[in-house]
Every structure is written in structure tokens, then in C-alpha cells.
Amino acid sequence: MSKQAPGVRIDGLTVTYNNLPAVRNVSLELPPGTITGIVGESGSGKSTLALSLLNAVQPPGRIAAGSVEIDEIGNVVEFAAEQIRRVRGSQIGYVFQAAQNSLNPLKTVGKQLLDLGRSHGVEDLRGLVRDAKDLLGRMGLDGARVLDSHQHELSGGMRQRVGIMLALVLNAHLVVLDEPTTALDMITQSTILKIIREVHEERGLTTLVITHDIGVVAEVADRLAVMYGGRLVEQGPTREVLASPQHPYTRGLIRAIPRLTGDIDEAQALPGRPPTLATVPAEGCVFRERCPLRMDVCDTVDPAAEAYGTRIVACHAVKVKEHA
Amino acid sequence: MITGTGIVKTFKQRGNVLDKREVRALRGVDFSIPKGGAASFIGESGCGKTTLGRIIAGLETHDEGEIVIDDVAMSSLKPKARQPYFRRIQMIHQDPYSALNPTRTIFQTLQAPLRLRARQTGRDGKWIDERASEVLSLVGLDPGSVLGRYPHQLSGGMRQRVVIARALTVDPEMLVADEAVSMIDVSLRLGILALLKDLRERLGVAVLFITHDVATARYIGDDGDLYVIYRGQVIEHGKVDTVISDPVHPYTQSLLSAIPVLHGLEQPGTQPVVPLSGLDESLSDGGCLFARRCPFHTERCTSELPALGRSEGVPQEHACFYPERRDVVARPMSGV
């Protein structure tokens, strides 16, 4: 069953919780075979956006507008419950934020693997176990031992790898990783990131990584998308965005990263605080309260996402500069 | 001034009665933090850095060694007599969401320790009100808008500032910040680090920073000391910038090699060090604790334990038989 890495087109997606928009009018394309990284702080809507790919936003959240078109699957926003259940796991793999805690503590990893297989009607369970062992071995683990283990017998880095195995073992070619390295040590993080990159290439995947850590995206992603207050404020090729960020939030975020070398005083925290669902402004630009380039128009008009070469930016000030 | 010599801590593993396994959390650690100074303990989870921090704050006992606070050896005092010393060492925990009582306003949170302080120094209620506003101003919060609020009405960064303000109510000698920024939003982290640095400069309070994120250690003061801890042993120690820019121990080098490179902004080091295997605590057969994972280990490393010390031409202390500089740290790209 050789499948191809699917492309994904998210168009005008709005997700609301009790009529408050957590994700607002987001359009994002995941080209087939690429790794895209979404960066945002807490409350930016990045996890909600990721869940939308599986049409798995939990009530009271609901997808209010927009579409998520996935090659060979269709617009998952319109899928009925049973239809989407079959797609999850088998075609879209999801590695949850707390992979450390998302395993069943009462069952061995192997039993959970068989549960997964049965719920998706896999007939060749032996083959499934063999694939799982292969994948775990590929990630530097002793497959047989891991399958016989309960989650408490595994380290954080091992559980994360188990999470990746469970997401891929049914041969999904679209994989979403939500905070794949949070709570892991530096060396383990570096190992996991390398594994993500290698597995992505070997199996021909389309991968989406959600994180608060720009460093993680810088290491693995081809494309970088920055979210703030439910809006996608900037996207483009990772290296280009890092080297010359256009949106004032992207710029501030990059400047706020503690670095190992260089001038200490160059690094600055962003003033103000990120908005929550309740405090995000209903009209105008979501970032204006913390923005050094704020203009009058920012108070009333939400800037549209516009393309400038390889970059898409939603900012009035950038637009003025580009047209000057 | 707070110093420790030969601190040893062993945890007995519970459970198996017949085969009592012991975990050596600290294997004879020396440190010294001058008045108003800065020090950072760096290492992976389980290396003993948090245990050491808790011992220094008087929250944990140790099995061997001596803690000396302002020239007074703590072992010479009865536990009760140690309290005034340890009270002046205040802990800032990782999680500002669970460190504050959700049913109390910020004023009530600050009032409790201040009332105690007022009783000790014979001051009145008015002083408590003034001091509560003062400590909030010190941490960069507006007392007028914060005092009457509950923790859930504040952001993570503001809560951590309140936690620091609460620590300041007792006029501490030192703040022990254990992963104090890892749960704070990225855009606000530097603000907390800058605050700790600022408190050092303005109040002369020492800061002990415990973290796995090496880069943040620079931001509480480049005059500080860095201790790299591996499986309960300090394996490299020196000035922050020396150790970060010129590490000589292969473990420190692998820690620094593992830090993500901001491609496009930074150039990765040309000689990254990757450990041969994952951390395995069960290995303990004499020799260097890092030997099994070290790409450069020799026969000697597996049979003889290198002690922390100095060698010629290396400004920092290290515990390696073969200290060597390697280009592991990413540098800013020129022209960016």
C-alpha cells in the first residue's frame, strides 16, 4: 500500500469556543512531503488549529467556518463522526502534547497497539506488531521490550517515541505532532527531532509540528507559521523567516529567545502579555497592544494576510512599507 | 556567602524489600555562592540539581558534607536554630500556577509573611500595607491593579513575579530559582530573567538558578558561576561565559551541541558532540560516570574516576582526563 504524502489546504478556518474565536480566518497550505512548524504562545490557538485537521475540536469548541481539504481524503470539516474516526490513525497520525501521559497506565504498549489495530479493522495483527517493532527499532529502541512495558517503565524520551510509533504504525502519511519535545531534556530533544526528520523523509510524510519553541521549528521545519491571538500573522520558509522576520510579533519573538552567544543586551522580552480568549480584541489587529509599529488603522481594521514573495504577512505596517 | 563542601545525598528506593537499591543523587558536591552573586546549576533531569537546590534551601537533608551560611556551619546548629538561616534562602518554583493559593488575593498572599516579619521587627499594620506595595513595585507590577486580584486573573509571567515578590517579603539573602521560567510564555521569559538580574543589582540578593536550558543561565548575570552536574557529580565549573563558549568536558559539549540552532540566524558549531547512547542510571562500574556515553572514552576512563580539578591552559575546573576544546556552540551569522 504505497501511499503518497498528501497535501493539505486549510482555508478561512475559524474555530470558536462559546462564540469566542480561538482560531480566526486562518489559511495555511501544507505542501506534500514538507514539515511545517506552527509557533505560538499559550492561547494562540495553535493546538486548536492542529485538532481541526482531525476534526477533533472538543465541544464547546466548534469549527464555525472554513475548510480543511486533505488530498485523497477530502474536506474533513464536513465528515461525519464514523467517517472521521476511520481516517484518524489510519491516514492522519496524531502525537499528542502529553505523550508522556497519553498512554494507558494499566496496559502494556503492546496491548494498546493491538487495541489500535482492532479498532481500525486490521486483520494481520502479527504484521502490525512486526511493523511496530521495526519502527521502534528504527528509533533506537528495543521493540520487543518496549511492547512488553507499561508506560511507567519507560523514560520520557521513550514514551515520546512510542507516541510517534502509534501515530505511524497504521501507515498514516499525514502526521501532526503537538509539542513533541516539551518536558524533555536537551539531549533527548535533539535525538527526537533527528528521529522526526529521518522518519519524515524515509516514510514520505507530510508533517505538522506544533510548538511554543522556535528552536524546535528551526531544527526540523521547512516552513514556519507564526500564530498570535488566533491569527496566523506570518508564514514562509523557515530560514527566511528567521533571518528576516517581517511581522513585528515574529521579530519580537525571535529577539526574546535566550541565546548562547552574542550580545546579552540584544535579547529583549516583549512588553505586555499574550491575549487570552476573553481578552483578544474583537476588531482590529490582535497584536496592536504590544506592537511598536501601531498605527490608527490597527485599532479598527484586522489586517488581511497578504503575500510578499515567498512570505505571507498580516500587518498594516508591513503593507505600508512594501507599497512605499 | 553560602558554601557547600562534599555534599552527598543518597535516596533509598522504596518497594523491593530484599533488594534495596540506592540512588546516589549527589556524590560529593562543592559549591560557593558569594553575597549578591549568581550561580547556575545545569544538567538533565535526574542529575541531582534540584535536590542540591532543595538542600541549600533547607528543604531536604543531606547525608554527608557541610553547608556554611555566613560563616556558620549548619551541622553545628540544632534544626530549630537553622531556621532563621534557611528562611533567608527563598525558593522560586517552576510552576507559578500551583505556587499561589487560588482562594487568596495577592494582598492576602503577601500579608501572611509580612505579618510575621512585622511581629519580628515590631512594626504595625500600616507598614505591612506599604511593604506589600513596595515588593510588588520591585518586581515590576503595579500594586494598585494587582493587590486586589486573584491568581487566576494574572498571566503566568505576572504570577511568577508575585511569587518572587512573596519571596522578597522576608528580605532574603538568596533566591533559589528552580526552572523558574520554563513554564512562562516565551515572549515573557527574558523579562523574568532580567528581573532576577535586576534584583541582584538593586537589592544585593544572590541568585541560584537551576535549569536544563543552558542559554538562560547567561541572563541572570555574566559574572556568575556555572556548575554542570552529571549524575550527581559536578563535571565542569567556571565562569558562565567561559564554560558556555569554551567547554572542555565532552558532556558539557554534548549538552551545548543539543541546543537547537536557529538556521538562518546562526551557524552551527563544526564539531558537535553526540552521546553514544541514552542515559542509563544503572551503569556504575567505577570509572568516569559519562564514559559509556562518551565518544572519546579510553580504557582509563572506564576504570578510574576523574575528580573535579584544574589542568594547564584551561581556566575552568573540569572532571575529565582528556579536556579538549571543541567547536560545538552555534554562532550568530555575520551580517545578520
What's the pLDDT at B52? 94
CATH number, domain containing residue B23? 3.40.50.300
Residue A94 β-bridge partners? A176
**What pLDDT, on a 0 to 100 scale, did the predictor assign at position A3?**
67
- State whether A213 and B186 contact (CB < 8 Å): yes
- As given in the structure block, the three cell numbers for residue A92 are 492522519
| pLDDT tier for residue A158 given thresholds of 50, 70 and 90 | confident
According to DSSP, the residues that pair with B176 across neighbouring strands are B91, B208
- Cα Rg for chain A, rounded, in angstroms? 20
Listed in sequence order, the DSSP H helices in chain A are 46-52, 81-87, 109-119, 125-138, 143-147, 156-168, 186-203, 214-220, 238-243, 248-255, 316-323
Mean pLDDT calculated for residue range A182-195: 85
Tell me whether residue B125 is exposed, middle or buried, using C-beta atoms within 10 angstroms of its C-beta: 0 to 12, 13 to 18, 19 or more: exposed
In a domain, B37, yes or no: yes
Contacts of A316 (CB under 8 A, 6+ apart): A285, A295, A297, A298, A301, A303
Which residues span the domain enclosing B161?
100-170
Task: Give A204 to chain B, closest Cα distance, Å.
Answer: 23
Q: Kindly state whether B262 is in contact with chain A, defined as any CB-CB distance less than 8 angstroms.
A: yes
Q: Hey, are the CB atoms on B222 and A264 less than 8 Å from each other?
A: yes
| Same domain, yes or no: B64 and B180 | yes
A118 touching chain B per CB within 8 A: no
Task: Please write down the long-range contacts of B83-86, taking CB distance under 8 Å and 24 or more positions apart.
Answer: B83/B58, B85/B58, B86/B57, B86/B58
Is there a contact between A258 and B215 if contact means CB atoms under 8 Å apart?
yes
Chain A residues with CB inside 8 Å of B258's CB? 186-187, 189-190
According to the model, what pLDDT value does residue B335 have? 52
Of A187, A239, A252, the CB nearest to B44: A187
∠ CA A222-A202-A11, nearest 5°, is: 40
Q: Do B264 and B318 reside in the same domain of the chain?
A: yes
Q: Which residues of A touch B156 (CB under 8 A)?
A: 42
pLDDT of residue B20: 63
Nearest Cα residue in chain B from A211: B186
Residue-wise over B240-260: b if at least 16 C-beta within 10 A, else e?
A: bbbbbbbbbbbbbbbbbbbbb
**Quick one: B80 and B2 in the same domain?**
yes
The CA-CA-CA angle for residues A290, A251, B262, to 5°, reads 140
For B49, the enclosing helix (H) or strand (E) is: helix B49-56
Nearest CA in chain A to B213: A186
Q: Write down the pLDDT at residue A1.
A: 42
The C-alpha atoms of residue A321 and residue A242 are separated, in whole angstroms, by 19
pLDDT tens-digit map of A255-265: 998 888 888 88
Q: DSSP string spanning B262-309?
A: -BTTEE--SS----SS---TT--SSS-TTGGG-TT--HHHHHSPPPSB
Nearest to B128 by CA among B143, B115, B119, B141: B115
Is the CB of A2 inside 8 Å of chain B's CB atoms? no
Contact A242 B264 (CB under 8 A): yes
Q: Confirm whether B267 is domain-assigned.
A: yes
A-B C-beta contacts closer than 8 Å = 135
Q: Are residues B14 and B73 in the same domain?
A: yes
In angstroms, the CA B141 to CA B129 distance is 15
Do B184 and B70 share a domain, yes or no? Answer: yes
For residue B128, the surrounding DSSP H or E stretch is helix B125-138
Residue B261 lies in a domain: yes
Strands A92-95 and A174-178: parallel
pLDDT in tens, chain B (336 residues): 899 999 999 987 666 566 667 778 899 999 999 999 999 999 988 889 999 999 999 999 999 999 999 999 999 999 899 988 998 999 998 888 889 999 999 999 999 999 988 988 888 889 999 999 999 999 999 999 899 999 988 888 899 999 999 999 989 999 999 988 888 888 888 999 999 999 999 999 999 999 988 889 999 888 899 999 999 999 999 999 999 999 999 999 999 999 999 988 889 999 999 988 777 666 566 889 999 899 999 999 988 999 999 998 899 999 999 999 999 998 888 654
* Percentage of the residues of chain A whose pLDDT score is greater than 70: 98
Any A CB within 8 A of B258 CB: yes
Instruction: Assign 3-class secondary structure to B51-107.
Output: HHHHHHCCCCCCCEEEEEECCEEHHHCCHHHHHHHHHCEEEECCCCCCCCCCCCCHH
Residues 250-279, chain A, touching B (beta carbon < 8 A): 252-254, 256-262, 264, 267-270, 273-274
Taking only Cα atoms into account, the Rg of chain B, rounded to an integer number of angstroms, comes to 21
Last residue of a domain, one of B230, B245, B260: B245
Q: Report the chain A residue with the minimal C-alpha distance to residue B216.
A: A258
Check residue A138 and give its pLDDT.
82
**B59 lies in the same domain as B202:** yes
- Tell which wins on pLDDT, A188 or A101: A188
pLDDT score, position B94: 84
Min distance A202 CA to chain B CA atoms (Å): 22
Q: Residue A323: its pLDDT value, please?
A: 78
Of the residues B141, B145, B162, B187, the best mutation for testing chain A's interface (the one with the most A CB atoms within 10 Å of its CB) is B187
Polymer length in residues for chain B: 336
- The whole-angstrom separation of Cα A124 and Cα B130 is 73
Cell of residue B46, nine digits: 535526574
ipTM of the complex: 0.85
Q: CB of B218 within 8 A of CB of B241?
A: yes
CA distance B67 to B72: 8
Is B94 a member of any domain?
Answer: no
What are the distances in angstroms from CA A245 to CA A34, A121, A248, A268, B8?
A: 21, 47, 8, 16, 49
- Which of B150, B170, B190 finishes a domain? B170
Average pLDDT rounded to a whole number, residues A155-172: 86
Q: Side chain identity at A222, as an amino acid letter?
A: D
Question: Domains in chain B: how many in total?
Answer: 3
**Segment 205-244 of chain B within 8 Å of chain A by CB:** 212-216, 218-219, 222, 244
Average pLDDT over residues A76-101: 84
Domain shared by B217 and B328, yes or no? no
Closest Cβ–Cβ partner in A187, A242, A261 for B263: A242
Is B93 a domain residue?
no
The verdict on B268 and B300 lying in the same domain is: yes
Q: B186, B192, B222, B267: which to substitute to probe chain A, counting the most A Cβ within 10 Å?
A: B186
Q: Pick from B245, B274, B300: which residue ends a domain? A: B245
Measured between beta carbons, which residues in chain A are less than 8 angstroms from residue B186?
A: 41, 212-214, 253, 256-257
Helix (H, G, I), strand (E, B) or coil at B18: coil
Same domain? For B286 and B296 the reply is yes
Distance CA A92, CA B130 (A): 58
**Residues of chain B contacting residue A259, judged by C-beta atoms under 8 Å apart:** 215, 262, 266, 332
CB A42 within 8 A of CB B156: yes
Mean residue pLDDT across chain A: 89
Kindly state whether residue B192 falls inside one of the protein's structural domains: yes
Nearest C-alpha of chain B: how many angstroms from A91? 30
Number of helical H runs and strand E runs in chain A: 11, 12
CB spacing of A239 vs B264 below 8 angstroms:
yes
What CA dihedral angle connects A57, A61, A64 and A65, to 10 degrees?
Answer: -30
Q: Are B287 and B303 in contact (CB under 8 A)?
A: yes
Query: What value does the mean pLDDT take over residues A226-238?
Result: 95
Let me know whether B279 and B206 are in one domain.
no
Q: Decide: A11 and A25 in contact? Cβ < 8 Å.
A: no
Cβ–Cβ < 8 Å for A249, A228: yes
Name all domains of chain A by residue range, CATH numbers in brackets: 8-91+172-323 (3.40.50.300), 100-170 (no CATH)
Chain B residues with CB under 8 Å of A189 CB are 258, 260
Give a yes or no: residue B83 inside a domain. yes
Query: Measured on CA atoms in the order B25, B259, A234, A57, is the torsion positive or negative?
Result: negative
Flag whether B320 is in a domain. yes
CB–CB contact B261 A155 (8 Å): no
Number of H helices, E strands in chain B: 11, 13
Instruction: Identify whether residues B65 and B185 lie together within a single domain.
Output: yes
Do residue B78 and residue B210 come from a single domain? yes
Mean of pLDDT values over A280-296? 90
